[in-house]
Structure 1
Amino acid sequence: MALQEGDFIRLRYTGRFDETIFDTTDEEKAKEEGIYNPRAEYGPVTVRLGSHHIIIGLEDELIGKEVGAEGEVDVPPEKGFGSHDDANVRSVPVSQFREKPKRGMRIEVEGREGVVVDVIGRRAVVDFNHPLAGKTLTYSYTIVEKVEDPIEQIKGLIKLYSGRTDIGISITDGVAELALPPAIVYDRRWMIWRGTLVREIFEYYPDIKNVVMKETFPRPEETKAAFEVPETEETPKTEETEE
């Protein structure tokens, strides 16, 4: 059956620009191309078609395809990362940088990330456009399977947004409960995206009336403190042993 908007799928893909790979779900390919991220979870990703979990040009290509389909598609800028906007290129005083700016340096100014494209006197020219803005991209893909189980779908959304695979999920009587690992509040990516996750759960699953996030702290295992005096070849003398 042809895939349509609202379907969850598991997808393998690799994105290229001018034969240079910039994104892939293949761990070995990422290592070969020098873009491997040791903190990333590689392998097929779970996405919902029609929700723009992937760039529009690739998503449009997948809708109407069958499970198991493989292919390649060219994605123009308007369906990729947008056109290059000259208004997003600004001149910034070098005094705003912690270190001397150089061409090609990635920096953050007022919460926005950009790339230094030139340094003129005491000012740096910074491009805040996405690095792939204005470029036509090529994606190769394989539709691995359709995901029907709501729990597996939500697990896929959690991994998509936070990269985490250690959150347990149960759905009972209209309540979706997420079992959170200890100290997850220190995970910045999770804290940023959890609101989006909750919103999408309510949007995609009308029968779910409440989302409960439960953080559990197990009692740590007791360890035996080593207070014993280590044995030595010579025992210290005491008043009772002294002659």
Structure 2
Amino acid sequence: MALQEGDFIRLRYTGRAGENIFDTTDEENAKEEGIFNPRAEYGPVTVRLGSHHIIIGLEDELMGKEVGAEGEVDVPPEKAFGEHDEEAMKSVPVTQFREKPKRGTRIEAEGREGVVVDVIGRRAVVDFNHPLAGKTLNYSYTILEKVEDPVEQIKGLIKLFSGRTDIGISIADGTAELELPPAIAYDRRWMVWRGTLVREIFEYYPDVNDVVMKETISRPAKPEAAPEVVETEEPVETEETKEAEE
């Protein structure tokens, strides 16, 4: 059956800009290209078609395909990361930098990330365009399966948004419960994206009325007592022991 908007699928893909791979679900490809992230979870991703979980050009390509389909598609800038916008090039005083800026320095300002492309006198030219803006991209892909189980769908969304695979999920009586690992509050990516996750759960699962996030912290195990060391007094040296040693 042809895939359509609203279907969840497991997808394997590799994105290239020219000859260079910039994104891939394949760990070996990432290592070969020198973009491997040891903290990333590689492997197929679960996405919902029509929700823009992937760039529009790739999503359009997958609509109407069958499970098992594989192929390639060239994606123009307007369906990828947009055209390069000259107005996104800003001149910033070097005094706003903690350290002396140089070409290639990445910065964050006004909620946007940019890269220094030039330094002229006391001002730095910062490009706030996406690094792939204005480029035609190529994607190779394989549609592995359609994901029907809501629990597996939500697991896929969690991995997609936060990169985590250690969150337990159960759905019962209108409640989706997420079993969170300890210290997850220190995961910045999770904290940024969890609101989006909740919104999408309510949007895609009308029978879910509550989302409960439960973090269980167990009492640390008591350290084992060290074995008692019995101190013995050193023997007192006497004339008799001296003679014996001699």
Which TM-score bucket, shorter chain as reference? over 0.9
Query: 1:162-195 CA deviation, whole Å, 9 max, x = no partner?
Result: 1110000001111111001111111111111111
For the pair 1:191 / 2:191, whether they are aligned, the reply is yes
Q: Separation in 2 of the partners of 1:157 and 1:3?
A: 18
2:162 aligns with 162
For the pair 1:130 / 2:101, whether they are aligned, the reply is no
For the pair 1:17 / 2:17, whether they are aligned, the reply is yes
- Call closer, same or farther: CA 1:242–1:169 in 2, change over 3 Å: farther
- Please tell me whether Structure 1 or Structure 2 has the larger radius of gyration of its CA atoms: 2
Q: Which moved more, 1:153-162 or 1:209-218?
A: 209-218
Share of identical aligned residues, percent? 82
Equivalent residue letter for 2:233: P
Q: Separation in 1 of the partners of 2:175 and 2:23?
A: 36
Q: Separation in 1 of the partners of 2:237 and 2:228?
A: 23
Query: 1:48-71 CA deviation, whole Å, 9 max, x = no partner?
Result: 000000000000000000000000
Equivalent residue letter for 2:99: E
Alpha-carbon offset, residue 208 of structure 1 = 0.7
Q: Separation in 2 of the partners of 1:85 and 1:226?
A: 67
Q: Separation in 2 of the partners of 1:208 and 1:174?
A: 4
2:2 aligns with 2
Structure 2, unmatched stretches of 5+, are 239-246
Equivalent residue letter for 1:82: G
Alpha-carbon offset, residue 105 of structure 1 = 1.9
User: In the TM superposition, what are the counterparts of 1:100-115 in structure 2 within 5 Å?
Assistant: 100-115=100-115
Query: 1:32-54 CA deviation, whole Å, 9 max, x = no partner?
Result: 00000011000000000000000
Q: Separation in 1 of the partners of 2:58 and 2:210?
A: 33
Q: Separation in 1 of the partners of 2:53 and 2:82?
A: 16
Query: 1:97-129 CA deviation, whole Å, 9 max, x = no partner?
Result: 122211122222233211111100011000000
Equivalent residue letter for 2:103: R
Equivalent residue letter for 2:66: E
Equivalent residue letter for 1:101: P
Q: TM-score, normalised by structure 1?
A: 0.94
Q: Separation in 1 of the partners of 2:28 and 2:36?
A: 8
DSSP 3-state at the match of 2:139: strand
Equivalent residue letter for 1:221: A
Alpha-carbon offset, residue 242 of structure 1 = 10
Q: Separation in 2 of the partners of 1:100 and 1:221?
A: 49
Equivalent residue letter for 1:189: R
For the pair 1:37 / 2:37, whether they are aligned, the reply is yes
Q: TM-score, normalised by structure 2?
A: 0.93
1:69 aligns with 69
Alpha-carbon offset, residue 144 of structure 1 = 0.6
Q: Separation in 2 of the partners of 1:160 and 1:67?
A: 20
1:236 aligns with 233
- Call closer, same or farther: CA 1:166–1:98 in 2, change over 3 Å: same
Q: Which moved more, 1:211-220 or 1:130-139?
A: 211-220
Equivalent residue letter for 2:208: I
Q: Separation in 2 of the partners of 1:153 and 1:103?
A: 42
Alpha-carbon offset, residue 222 of structure 1 = 2.0
Structure 1, unmatched stretches of 5+, are none
